[in-house]
Amino acid sequence: MNQWYKIDNAGKMFHAVSEQANSSVFRISMIMTSDVNATHLQRALDDVMKRLPMFAVKLGKGLFWDFLVENDQKLLVQREKRYPCAPIDPIETNGYLLRVVYYNKRLAVEFFHSMTDGTGALEFIKALVYYYLIHSGETVEHDGTLLDIEDEPSHYEIDDSYQNYVTKDKGKKPKETHAYQIRGEHIEETIVVHGKLCASDVHQLAKSYGTTVTAFLTAVMIHAIYKEKLNYRFRKEEIKIAIPVNLRSFFPSKTLRNFFAVVNVGMRVHDRMTIEEIIEASLHNYKPKHAKNRYNKV
């Protein structure tokens, strides 16, 4: 009998809202130093899928709810032809909820969010790139932080941590106030604008403001939205940014499935507000530990 898994709490949400215009697909990519070899990539993918069975699943239909069930078909790598984060077609992927694509030097994996979050996706692509380099004949040191295909899959990796770290009393949820909604012109397909930043430079810039990269970029985004959309409006609504928080930072979870919460950082910006003041307000509102309060172990 095939192994099956319940869809976790976050996965249920993404599954429910997924549609053609909102694919609930996210993407992680790596740029190699030479063009990607499809044969070596396929061999690496086969290795990783054997080691990570929680990714080797398809969507099953139940009487009352859907679930994830073991998929014994082969997942094939594809040369990239579609726009990024397009809805995943199960016919195209042999039922899998992810796709592995390549284009010139770029290697990318796109995941349906019902299956995993950014942490699980990062572990997947790190292992994929490592074994791709091995199959390509490169000498790469395994530093112990990568998943080893020789290890047996751990039940901790497929753990539904939302169920393990819950509280009987969730307390009173803070009331969300109205926020400005960004609206734009509908386009048929996604358009992606690529921008490159040096991570160390961004870190140093955030440090010069006495803050973290997350708080700094949140403040810059709030400032940009205000200047572009609200600066000349009579009614200046609150601007809110929804920031995902990795709950593994607060609980001893090793799951590769979804395990995150969202913190809304919001404020009203006025004309003379400096970026320093926005950063200070962001830090006051950005309290990741508040996300933990929703999940206390019973």
| Domains of the chain, start order | 4-155 (3.30.559.10), 159-298 (no CATH)
Mean pLDDT over 168-186 rounds to 75
Higher per-residue confidence, 151 vs 203: 203
pLDDT at residue 291, rounded to an integer:
61
Buried/exposed 100-125: b ≥16 CB within 10 Å, e otherwise? bbbeeeebbbbbbbbbbbebbbebbb
pLDDT at residue 298, rounded to an integer:
36
Higher per-residue confidence, 140 vs 298: 140
Computed over every residue of the chain, the mean pLDDT equals: 86
Cβ atoms of 218 and 243 closer than 8 Å: yes
Residue 92 and residue 90: Cα distance in Å, rounded? 5
pTM for this model (two decimals):
0.86
Tell me which long-range contacts 37-42 makes (C-beta under 8 A, separation of at least 24).
37/136, 38/77, 38/79, 38/102, 40/132, 40/135, 40/136, 41/77, 41/100, 41/102, 41/107, 41/128, 41/132, 42/76, 42/77
Mean pLDDT over 126-142 rounds to 93
pLDDT-derived band at 170, boundaries 50, 70, 90: low
